[in-house]
Structure 1
Amino acid sequence: MKNCFLYSHGGSGNHGCEAIVRGTQKIIGRENMMVYSLNKEEDKLYGLDEVVNLGSQRIDYPRFNIKRIIASLKIKLFKDGSYAEKIPFDHLFSKYSSNDLAISIGGDNYCYDSYEVYKTLNKSFNKNGTKTVLWGCSVEPKFIDEKMEEDLAKYSLITTRESISYEAVKKVNKSTKLIPDPAFQLEKIELPLPKGFEVNNTIGINMSPMIMSYETSDGSAMKNYENLIQHIIDTTDIQIALIPHVVWQQNDDRKPLKALYDKFKDTNRVIMLGDYNCMELKGFISRCRMFIGARTHSTIAAYSTCVPTLAIGYSVKAKGIAKDIFGTYENYVLPVQTLSDKDDLINIFEWMKTNEYEIRNHLNNFIPSYKERALQGRTELEKLLGE
């Protein structure tokens, strides 16, 4: 393999993105692998530069740079914005060519309808002779239109992380494989537990700011979380740990979690974790009795350490992963949009608690071989390059 590099990494403030990079590096097994990031300084903050080489994915040229001028003229004279879309990434296209392998690790970049930048990257790499891989992805089937079909067909290999996406994408690209998310291979680090975190008697809860935007007929989805925490306090001796997994300024789990913490902090039953890297977060999650998570990679940290898990899901990735692990996503995924009753989370929590032993037993039996399948990604890359 002449050159093998990762791109479309958004930055490690999203610890799911970080987990994908670390898991991929372990699977591929290459030292000094290059990762092109949208936020190198953020990655360094969490120590990612200790395991991979970091480069900048975008170069923003000054206003009067010749490339910017040409781009403006093309738009003004010919209504052609393709050059303007391409130039921030020219340093990548000029550096790599045939026999090189560009691996896009966005994960859920094709779950939404704003994928144009990834289409530009894929097209330009292919034009340069560089083979492309869409790695560990989910793809929302309803968004696969003619334009996306054309884009997906250009990838030399697509590895889908769950079967719902796989069934849709294999119709478009025959070089599509079903392989678990690379984060299932992420190592964990067990730091000392904070006061109030009881091993195997703590419910881990993760939320995203999007939760707060979903209003229901009986109030807000946030009310469901408040009612659940009050229910756990009133009816059990279980502790509660609020665990952020994305800490980007514009999309920070700590905001809704802090609102919950402030409401219940005086009970001495609720703690809130600070910010840690993805391996350390996995170490905390692994010592939970059960886990309820909105972020997909927070639930992957729980699944992969055999913790009974409920995904508060809103897209194909949550449903697909749960379906592949349990055979169904019913009772294992609760779309936040359906939180229409103030007791919805309480009811599903009680179901989990009733079936806790069976769920954990299933995970203990199933997850080891499932995690092992994530290693198949390396074999597929080697076959692609004839190694």
Structure 2
Amino acid sequence: MSIVLSGCNGFRNRGVEALIAPSVAELHKRFPGGEVTVLSGQPAYDETRDVDAAFVLDPFIGKVRSLPVRRVGAGIAPRVFRSEARAISAIRAADAVIASGGDNFSSDYGDFRMHLEPLKVAQKAGKATFMLAQSVGPFKSDEQRNHFCSVAKAVSLITVRESRSYDYVTKDLGLPSDRVHLTADPAFLLQPSGEDRVQRLLRRYGVDPAAPYVTIAMSRGIARFPGLTTSGAETAQTHLAVLGRLVRHVLDELGAQVLLIPHVQETLPKNNDLILAEEIVDALEDDRIRVAWGDHSAADFKGLIAAATLNVAERMHAAIAGVSTATPTMVVRYSVKADGIIGDLLGASAREDGAIVPFEEYLRGEGAGAVETFQNAWDNRGKLRETLEAKLPEVRRLSESNYDLFQEVLSSGGRG
């Protein structure tokens, strides 16, 4: 069995790695001896990770306007369109193409047709196609809706990672419910680095493993996220001040340690959390602040978060790193996916227990809202941990069911 995974922007975003790495592992479990190829925006970087897959450049990422030219060019001038020809060749040689999970198919990140392209190529070649653990929409225009549905209606199976997307896909978009399944995010299956490795990292960064510490996975991109009612340079400055106030609260009021987690380290400065970590350290000039500066894997970061007393997450997969290890986590909501994933996991009490806070509320009073929610989560951390421990076996089963469903379709020799 040969499978192509698409939708991978690159592992510099550890959330992408947290999606792809367990997906590759689960596919190998179900199809022993099979081959997995990942179409990636950054294959040279991604292949340095311990993931049993071949990495091929996805030539369609960021190339929306020239998609038809690139597709045709790969056929008539493969020496000119080498990357396109190689990707298309991998798709045509595969038994199936699976669009990896996340929220690629939404209006939040602009034109998502580049992520539909591998599926379109596969469908034209008569291959089975799947959408894996997606958060879908809501789409802001009929054009976007039509682009998605034109491809989605021909896929063998769609799995979605939260109930909001299930309702949107089956009711608002009207896709057949027998081809849509509610599962869970693949990152719930990512294994954190082992205890010895985590202890070494904590000592490297000056964190006492025996004392309470809080991880803060801050996001340099959140203040400029297009889906928010407030974003831009002024919001970014307010955001920095809020993070400073939150760090001070943890250090001074609670006497706990702080470890900053730069979960996304893109080459673009606007989405590189290392830069924000540096800004926080410079602004506060407090030697007690610790930063996990290294080029760590998603598993390393998950291990550091798992050992924390409490996790603050402005990144969705840093949040999942916390909740999937039963670490009490305060999620800063910047899109509907957080409501769906955390709401499904913790229920209606998530807000009142401090497990989730909208970004706008988080910024209120230059950090008063953030500190208030954090203190609530801190006070409820025992309750949050117990709830997570009770829910996680079922969530992990749902995550595994993504691959069971694919196996059922592919092993039958059908397309759904």
Normalising by structure 2, we get a TM-score of 0.81
Q: Does the aligned pair in 1 maintain the 2:223–2:235 contact within 8 Å?
A: no
Where do 1:104-119 residues align within 5 Å?
Answer: 104-112=99-107, 113-119=110-116
Where do 1:249-328 residues align within 5 Å?
Answer: 249-250=267-268, 251-268=271-288, 270-274=289-293, 275-328=295-348
In the TM superposition, what is the alpha-carbon distance from 1:313 to its structure 2 partner? 2.1
Q: Does the aligned pair in 2 maintain the 1:27–1:377 contact within 8 Å?
A: no
Q: Does the aligned pair in 2 maintain the 1:307–1:360 contact within 8 Å?
A: yes
- Does 340-349 or 198-207 show the bigger shift? 198-207
Cα 1:241/1:96, change in 2 over 3 Å = closer
Q: Does the aligned pair in 2 maintain the 1:23–1:182 contact within 8 Å?
A: yes
Q: Does the aligned pair in 2 maintain the 1:200–1:287 contact within 8 Å?
A: no
In the TM superposition, what is the alpha-carbon distance from 1:94 to its structure 2 partner? 4.0
Q: Does the aligned pair in 2 maintain the 1:140–1:315 contact within 8 Å?
A: no
Structure 2 SS opposite 1:247:
coil
Cα 1:302/1:94, change in 2 over 3 Å = same
The aligned residue for residue 227 of structure 2 is none
Structure 1 SS opposite 2:364:
coil
Residue in structure 2 matching 1:340, options 364, 384, 407: 364
The aligned residue for residue 204 of structure 1 is 215
Write out per-residue CA displacement over residues 328-368 of structure 1, whole angstroms, 9 at most, x where no aligned residue: 35242222234232201000011111211111111111112
In the TM superposition, what is the alpha-carbon distance from 1:296 to its structure 2 partner? 0.9
- Which residue identity lines up with residue 108 of structure 1 in the other structure? D
In the TM superposition, what is the alpha-carbon distance from 1:121 to its structure 2 partner? 2.5
Q: Does the aligned pair in 1 maintain the 2:216–2:311 contact within 8 Å?
A: yes
Structure 1 SS opposite 2:221:
helix
Q: Where does structure 2 lack aligned partners over 5 or more consecutive residues?
A: 75-82, 225-230
- Which residue identity lines up with residue 333 of structure 1 in the other structure? I
- Does 356-365 or 219-228 show the bigger shift? 219-228
Q: Distance in 2 between matches of 1:375 and 1:82?
A: 36
Normalising by structure 1, we get a TM-score of 0.86
Structure 2 SS opposite 1:204:
strand
Question: How big is the alpha-carbon RMSD for the aligned residues of Structure 1 and Structure 2?
Answer: 2.6
Structure 1 position 165 matched with structure 2 position 165: yes
Greater fraction of residues in helix: 2
Where do 1:217-232 residues align within 5 Å?
Answer: 220-232=238-250
Structure 1 position 183 matched with structure 2 position 214: no
Cα 1:140/1:199, change in 2 over 3 Å = farther
Q: Distance in 2 between matches of 1:359 and 1:287?
A: 15
Q: Distance in 1 between matches of 2:320 and 2:236?
A: 31
Where do 1:1-387 residues align within 5 Å?
Answer: 2-28=1-27, 29=29, 30=31, 32-48=35-51, 51-58=52-59, 82-84=68-70, 87=74, 89-97=84-92, 100-112=95-107, 113-143=110-140, 145-171=145-171, 172-174=174-176, 175-190=179-194, 191=197, 192=200, 193-194=202-203, 195-199=206-210, 201-213=212-224, 214=231, 220-250=238-268, 251-268=271-288, 270-274=289-293, 275-328=295-348, 329-330=350-351, 331-338=354-361, 339-342=363-366, 343-387=368-412
**Percentage of pairs with the same residue:** 24
- Which residue identity lines up with residue 355 of structure 1 in the other structure? N
- Which residue identity lines up with residue 148 of structure 1 in the other structure? F
Count of aligned residue pairs for this structure pair: 365
